[in-house]
Structure 1
């Protein structure tokens, strides 16, 4: 039987602030530059290993993003610097449920402080194999949603072309 345990986020992952990279300093490359809204460009070097999990730190605060490869974590994000005996996709899906935007501060531009979320308590499954099963199930659902969205997009485009032709 799988055991669950209440832990602080700092007990399972360690966040670090991303690094600044203005658009004019981006050099054409294969590594995505991940900002608080997702991929904002590509660069020839990376700051984050596979998988790259970030959350919005400034602007679009608290939204988790995962990229299954190396990337550059922009200074508008916090990225997971260290995984501590936890399945990466499991923590990604857990982060999606935590409503981290409520930990933001700042009046003009919302900002998320990693020290505030490091102390948040969460309940996790302790068994890594169980974490992987949950993650794989959720990844399958996400993949099906992605395929359905593509189908819907194609249906809309086809419908618009038919309207234009008639």
Structure 2
């Protein structure tokens, strides 16, 4: 895709980047080969660690070459860039200000020049062939100073909103802990639910169409790409609309935890349990019990990266409060209302964050058109 060029003020000009900067390949440095130190180690999407020696001793802009292609990071200190990124050298510091170039790189959408494939990447020559709107050096300095001031305020506002977002998410988790860990008829899960294992399937048993949908983890989060089965199984291997399911292996915050199945009769896969109440328990209270266990399992695994797993024995050993049916309904109603308010608040905060990010992009566009 050809770069869009706008008309510029009279004392500005377009200059090819290859006349202004050099882009150097980073050098591989595996985590096991790093010696923890004061030097930041940059990958394609930012700092990935530290080291005790640098690859480049001057301030630079690091540009993602593979993975997060085109993502720009600014380093004022000596640094090491690994082989998934480039680091930039300014040819003449009296012609181009490094921070001015950083803002250009941060604004530029590298998808227009990225090479498609399993691992997208950008070619150095393609990047160096881009045109940079170049004002006089004093004007570059003025623009950088103004952008720094504006973005400091915007980034501070975004940071505060993100803190509010974390707080709003934790409110529900705190309420769950308060409701389900009271000394009111404390009962282990194995006395409340039958925990039925899903079934593993051979490839030949998974069909493109058939009598029953086969629920996989991705389907619990709204994925519509289903396999099907014509197998007739034990009744415990099916779930009906309204049944409680628990994904015991998944990503915290997305695919791990409690779900309600709201579709036709289906078969659930191996990494999913069906949680069938064996005592009188209000349906929504049962759901919130399992949501509490989801939050507790995630909290216990804090600091562990990647997929989260819990065993059936661990699930059955969780102890929760099981008050009277009437009290269960009251608690479930309160939690439903709190969850709705929490979701509305998170949506509102997330919308404000996105608006501020759009504002930053709009300010950058104005800056490089000479309108700031």
Aligned residue pairs total: 165
Note if contact 1:59-1:109 (Cα within 8 Å) is conserved in structure 2.
yes
TM-score (norm 1): 0.88
Indicate how the Cα distance of structure 1 residues 123 and 150 shifts in structure 2: closer, same or farther if over 3 A, else same: closer
Structure with more contact order per residue of length (Cα contacts < 8 Å, sep ≥ 6) = 1
Indicate how the Cα distance of structure 1 residues 137 and 107 shifts in structure 2: closer, same or farther if over 3 A, else same: same
Task: Give the Å deviation of 1:95.
Answer: 1.5
| Structure 1 residues 137-152: aligned runs within 5 Å | 137-152=146-161
Structure 2 partner of 1:38: 46
Structure 2 partner of 1:99: 109
Indicate how the Cα distance of structure 1 residues 73 and 2 shifts in structure 2: closer, same or farther if over 3 A, else same: farther
Rounded Cα–Cα distance in structure 2 between residues aligned with 1:99 and 1:38: 17
Task: Give the Å deviation of 1:22.
Answer: 0.8
Note if contact 1:2-1:130 (Cα within 8 Å) is conserved in structure 2.
no
| Structure 1 residues 2-151: aligned runs within 5 Å | 3-84=11-92, 85-125=95-135, 127-151=136-160
Richer in strand (by share): 1
Note if contact 1:63-1:101 (Cα within 8 Å) is conserved in structure 2.
no
Which protein has the larger Cα radius of gyration, Structure 1 or Structure 2?
A: 2
Superposed structure 1 runs of 4+ greater than 6 Å apart: none
Note if contact 1:16-1:78 (Cα within 8 Å) is conserved in structure 2.
yes
What is the Cα-based RMSD across aligned positions, in Å?
2.0
Note if contact 1:58-1:112 (Cα within 8 Å) is conserved in structure 2.
yes
TM-score (norm 2): 0.41
Task: Give the Å deviation of 1:74.
Answer: 1.3
- Secondary structure of 2:24 counterpart: strand
Rounded Cα–Cα distance in structure 2 between residues aligned with 1:50 and 1:77: 16
Pairing partner for 2:162 from 136, 141, 153: 153
Task: Give the Å deviation of 1:47.
Answer: 1.6
